[in-house]
């Protein structure tokens, strides 16, 4: 059989299409079942606001995973960057702009250390970022202790103001997703990650500076986590040392739902956004349906496994059809 006989076949392999349509269908069902609670402006903005922090981190994680890497320290970086900015403002009355830049700079440094040790010293990403996750969490605890509050209003407007009736973190999220979507689809700089994830040795022999690219990916991921940390502490009006606990696994789940694979070479930035959106919708539905919070994690776990299994079955089918050309 010819592949052209099943023109939709390659769409099955594109998670942005499959997940996107699942989200649309899920949205329609929820609007029909809970017209009063689900399909409201307030509920939608709440969903988007809640997923904005995760999504900003997920964009960086998606780029890492396309390149066959991942970063477990992002959750700690979220707490660290917010904590560092808060610490400087609270104890040293540093101007807001300087505090924000320091928070982002700290995140950047952590990302560079991760990337340098992984790419140049050859430490396994799992071990390096697991260790960094603990180290950075420790620093976050030292900085913010039981929590810091009373920020200047210039800091609070970063996460609490609205533009056209939509909260700022949502704007930041949309901007970051769109920017990186275009960059990853159109620039050869970001395209390189697909080749590094696909076959690192062949990528090197094709002239791609693999080590340098890996460092950039960790720096970018940490920087986005830093932005997320600043936004989160501003939105909450407090820097908590427990911020972003468990965020790394939630984000990796979203990214895998969005089409990345642990072996690398696959995924799209839009998928990271859709993965996070899908998880947020499920959560929202469970809350509206008054399902116990304990069940949410169980259900998300089951969905993740189901998505991966379904994907392999579909891919396998498409592949066997290819082979009989």
Partner 1 sequence: MLELINISKFYPGVKALQQVSLCVIPGAIHAICGENGAGKSTLMNIIAGNVQPDEGSIRWQGEHIFITSARAAQDLGIGIVHQERSLAENLSIAENVFVEKAPRQRWGWIDRRALNQQTQQLLAELGLLQLSPQQLVSSLSPAQKQLIEIAKALAVAPKLLILDEPSSSLGEQETQLLFGLLQQLKLRGTAILYISHRMAEIFQIADQITVLKDGQSQGSYPAANLDHEKLIQLMVGRKLAQESFASFASKEVCLKIEQLRGVGFSDISFELYRGEILGLAGLIGAGRSELARALFGDQPIQTGTIELAGKAVQFKHPFDAIAAGLAYVPEERKNLGLFLDKSMLENIQSVFLHKQFWLNLEVPRIAEHYREKLRIKTPSLAQQVGLLSGGNQQKIVLAKWLATKPQVLIVDEPTQGIDIGAKVEIYQLLKQLSQEGIGILLISSELPELLLLADRIAVMQQGQIAGILPKEQASEAKIMQLATGQQIQSQ
Cβ 179 to partner 1 shortest distance, Å: 14
Q: Which structure tokens are listed for 207? A: 């002239």
Does residue 123 come out as left (phi exceeding 0), alpha (psi in the -120 to 50 range) or beta?
beta
Residue from 203, 227, 269, 281 that binds partner 1 (CB under 8 A)?
203
Site membership for partner 1, residue 316 (CB under 8 A):
no
Whether 174 contacts 45, CB under 8 Å: no
Q: What is the dihedral of CA 273, 79, 223, 121, to 10 degrees?
A: -110
Site membership for partner 1, residue 5 (CB under 8 A):
no
Site membership for partner 1, residue 150 (CB under 8 A):
no
Euclidean distance between CA atoms 210 and 197, whole angstroms: 10
Site membership for partner 1, residue 292 (CB under 8 A):
no
Site membership for partner 1, residue 317 (CB under 8 A):
no
Site membership for partner 1, residue 205 (CB under 8 A):
yes
Cβ 208 to partner 1 shortest distance, Å: 5
Site membership for partner 1, residue 48 (CB under 8 A):
no
Q: Which residue has the tokens 């069940």?
A: 295
Q: Which of residues 229-288 bind partner 1 (CB under 8 A)?
A: 265-266
Q: What is the dihedral of CA 262, 267, 268, 269, to 10 degrees?
A: -10
Interacting residues of 133 by C-beta distance below 8 A, sequence separation 6+? 72, 73, 75, 76, 248
Residue from 208, 223, 232, 280 that binds partner 1 (CB under 8 A)?
208
Site membership for partner 1, residue 201 (CB under 8 A):
yes
The stretch among 43-51, 100-108, 127-135, 192-200 that binds partner 1 (CB under 8 A) is 192-200
The 10 Å Cβ neighbour count of residue 170 is: 19
The stretch among 29-37, 72-80, 101-109, 190-198 that binds partner 1 (CB under 8 A) is 190-198
Site membership for partner 1, residue 195 (CB under 8 A):
yes
Q: Which structure tokens are listed for 225? A: 């986590």
Q: Which residues bind partner 1 (CB under 8 A)?
A: 1-4, 10, 186-189, 191-192, 194-195, 198-199, 201-209, 265-266, 319, 322-325
């Amino acid at each position: 059989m010819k592949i052209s006989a099943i023109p939709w076949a390659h769409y099955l392999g594109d998670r942005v299409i499959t997940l996107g349509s699942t989200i649309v269908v899920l949205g329609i069902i929820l609007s029909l079942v809970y017209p009063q609670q689900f399909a409201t402006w307030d509920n939608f903005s709440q969903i988007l606001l809640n997923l904005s922090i995760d999504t900003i981190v997920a964009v960086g994680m998606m780029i890492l995973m396309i390149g066959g890497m991942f970063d477990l320290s992002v959750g700690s970086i979220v707490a660290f960057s917010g904590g560092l900015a808060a610490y400087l403002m609270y104890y040293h009355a540093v101007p807001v702009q300087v505090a924000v830049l320091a928070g982002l700079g700290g995140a950047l440094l952590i990302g560079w250390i991760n990337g340098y040790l992984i790419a140049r010293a050859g430490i396994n990403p799992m071990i390096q970022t697991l260790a960094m996750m603990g180290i950075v969490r420790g620093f976050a605890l030292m900085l913010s202790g039981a929590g810091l509050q009373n920020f200047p209003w210039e800091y609070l407007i970063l996460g609490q103001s609205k533009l056209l009736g939509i909260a700022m973190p949502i704007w930041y999220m949309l901007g970051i997703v769109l920017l990186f979507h275009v960059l990853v689809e159109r620039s050869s700089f970001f395209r390189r990650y697909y080749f590094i994830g696909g076959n690192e040795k062949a990528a090197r022999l094709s002239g791609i500076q693999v080590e340098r690219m890996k460092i950039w990916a960790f720096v970018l991921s940490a920087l986005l986590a830093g932005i997320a940390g600043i936004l989160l502490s501003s939105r909450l009006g407090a820097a908590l040392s427990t911020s972003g606990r468990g965020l790394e696994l939630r984000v990796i789940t979203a990214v895998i739902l969005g089409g990345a694979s642990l072996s690398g070479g696959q995924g799209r930035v839009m998928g990271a956004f859709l993965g996070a959106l899908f998880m947020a919708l499920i959560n929202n539905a469970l809350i509206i349906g008054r399902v116990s919070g304990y069940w949410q994690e169980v259900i998300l776990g089951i969905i993740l496994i189901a998505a991966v299994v379904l994907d392999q079955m579909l891919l396998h089918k498409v592949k066997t059809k290819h082979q009989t050309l």
